[in-house]
Amino acid sequence: MANSQYGYVKSFETPDRLLPNTWIVIRLDGRGFHKFTARHGFEKPNDKRALDLMNACAEAVVTDLPDVIFAYGVSDEYSFVLKRECELFERRESKLVTTIVSHFTAHYIYLWPQYFPSTTLTMPLPTFDGRAVLYPSTENLRDYLSWRQVDAHINNLYNTTFWMLILRGGRTEKEAERELQGTVSGDKNEILFSQFGINYNNEPEIFKKGSCIYREYETSPPTVDAVEPSNDVPEPLPKSAATKKAILARKSAIAPKAAPKELSKSQLARQRKREMKAKVVVRYVDIIKDEFWEQRTWILG
């Protein structure tokens, strides 16, 4: 950019580089989706088409931004976990948040007709807010994800009971709300079972657990040890590197300076290649217990 007498205004910008070597979580949430879902005739309490659409958008984000190593979604929200050593946009918060939120929103609108073929998208159009939160330890990050999954379970049990009372029990919204006031999980399970013959345990996993998106490796995960050491000559750019995105991805693959595990440039480049090739999957599984993470050590290390 050419220098001019006006260039000084650039110095008014606030630096917003996020603390290095910390987990970055970017959470987005649908704005006014209570109204949006009502206007667009979502099935209550869970419109499966909408959850699938949210998942397709999140899958696009995970696929297109290799620094996103895990995503968890429920209702109108999605959390994206960026690897600790992420250097995308020099870790600038506003760049990261706005890129992920607009990437997601663009897909939501683009893919809408695929998931709602008979519902025209109309005002209010879907928009999402976003924020970044930093977690210094893996334990903190695990607790964050557990917090979201517990929340998903509590809300889903409540909503399932609430809507059963209305749709099949003939209550008004006010009556259902009053009936559920002060109840604990056991009470709601009992209402579902005794009044509607529903065993909550048999509800679809996607409703009870929310959705997890990550890279799955068919054989062994890309552990550091599995990557052969070699001299530090950078490999030639992949064919697709004609695009700026690929260059960015490559930059962030070779840039990390604060990475706890120091990999050589070519090791990192190779790891990045495997990541790009890995299959991105959507699963409705428990992420509170250790089992999930122990079986997939390549996600959080």
Annotated binding site for GTP: 29-34, 75-76
Contact with ligand ATP (CB under 6 A) among 67, 76, 87, 93? 76
> Looking at beta carbons only, is 32 or 234 nearer to ligand ATP?
32
Total of residues contacting Mg ion (CB under 5 A):
6
Q: Binding to ligand ATP by residue 58, rule CB under 6 A?
A: no
> What is the pattern of x (binds ligand ATP, CB under 6 A) and - over residues 112-141?
------------------------------
Total of residues contacting ligand ATP (CB under 6 A):
17
Nearest to 162 by CA among 154, 41, 202: 154
Region binding ligand ATP by CB under 6 A among candidate stretches 40-48, 142-150, 211-219, 273-281: 40-48
Specify the pairing of strand 128-135 against strand 211-216: unpaired
* Contacts of Mg ion in 15-34 (CB under 5 A): 29-30, 33
* Contacts of ligand ATP in 225-284 (CB under 6 A): 244
> Looking at beta carbons only, is 248 or 259 nearer to Mg ion?
248
CA distance 301 to 298: 5
Six token digits for residue 283: 């699963």
Six token digits for residue 167: 């749709």
Which region, left, alpha or beta, applies to residue 9 given φ > 0 means left and ψ of -120 to 50 means alpha? alpha
37 binding partner (options ligand ATP, Mg ion, none; Cβ < 5 to 8 Å by kind): ligand ATP
Region binding ligand ATP by CB under 6 A among candidate stretches 13-21, 33-41, 231-239, 264-272: 33-41
Q: Binding to ligand ATP by residue 32, rule CB under 6 A?
A: yes
Q: Binding to Mg ion by residue 77, rule CB under 5 A?
A: yes
Report the amino acid identity of residue 260: P
Region binding ligand ATP by CB under 6 A among candidate stretches 23-31, 58-66, 168-176, 231-239: 23-31
Minimum Å gap between C-beta 133 and ligand ATP is 16
CB 136 within 8 A of CB 22: yes
Ordered alpha helix ranges (H), the chain: 33-39, 48-64, 93-115, 138-167, 173-180, 185-196, 205-209, 244-254, 265-277, 291-294, 297-300
Q: Binding to ligand ATP by residue 64, rule CB under 6 A?
A: no
CA distance 152 to 286: 11
What is the Cα Rg of the chain in Å?
Answer: 22
Q: Binding to ligand ATP by residue 87, rule CB under 6 A?
A: no
Specify the pairing of strand 68-74 against strand 77-82: antiparallel
